[in-house]
Chain A
Amino acid sequence: MITGYFNYWVVIILMMMGFYIVISDSNLIKKIIGLNIFQTSVFILFISMSKVKGGTAPILTAEADVYSNPLPHVLILTAIVVGVSTSALGLAIIARIHRAYGTVDETIIHEQDDLQDEG
Chain B
Amino acid sequence: MDIETIINFSLLTLLALTVIVLIRMKSLLAIALSSGVYSFLSAGLFVAMDAVDVAFTEAAVGAGITTILLLGTIAITGREQTVSKHKRFLPIAVITITGAALIYGTLDMPLYGDANAPIHTHVAPHYLTQSSEEIGIPNVVTSVLASYRGYDTLGEVAVIFTAAVGVLLLLGKTAKRGVRKQ
Query: Could you tell me which A residues sit within 8 Å of B by CB distance?
Result: 3-10, 12-21, 23-27, 29-30, 32-33, 36-37, 40, 43-44, 47-61, 66-78, 80-89, 91-96, 98-105, 107-108
Contact = CB atoms under 8 A, between A and B. Distances in A.
Nearest to A37: B19
A105 B54 CA distance: 34
Interface of A, secondary structure class, is helix
Contact of B76 (A23, A25, A95): A95
B82 A91 contact: no
A23 B90 CA distance: 9
Nearest to B113: A53
A49 to B, nearest CB: 6
B40 to A, nearest CB: 11
B7 interface: no
A50 B51 contact: yes
Contact of B99 (A13, A57, A67, A93): A13
A77 B9 contact: no
Contacts of B3: none
A98 B77 contact: yes
B140 A70 contact: yes
B166 A92 contact: yes
A108 B85 CA distance: 12
A16 B66 CA distance: 21
B42 A30 contact: no
A97 to B, nearest CB: 9
Contact of B144 (A23, A56, A70, A81): A70
Interface string B81-122: 110101010011011101100110011011111110101100
A52 B46 CA distance: 13
B58 A9 contact: no
B74 A77 contact: no
Contact of B160 (A33, A81, A96): A81
A70 B113 CA distance: 14
B32 A33 contact: yes
B26 to A, nearest CB: 10
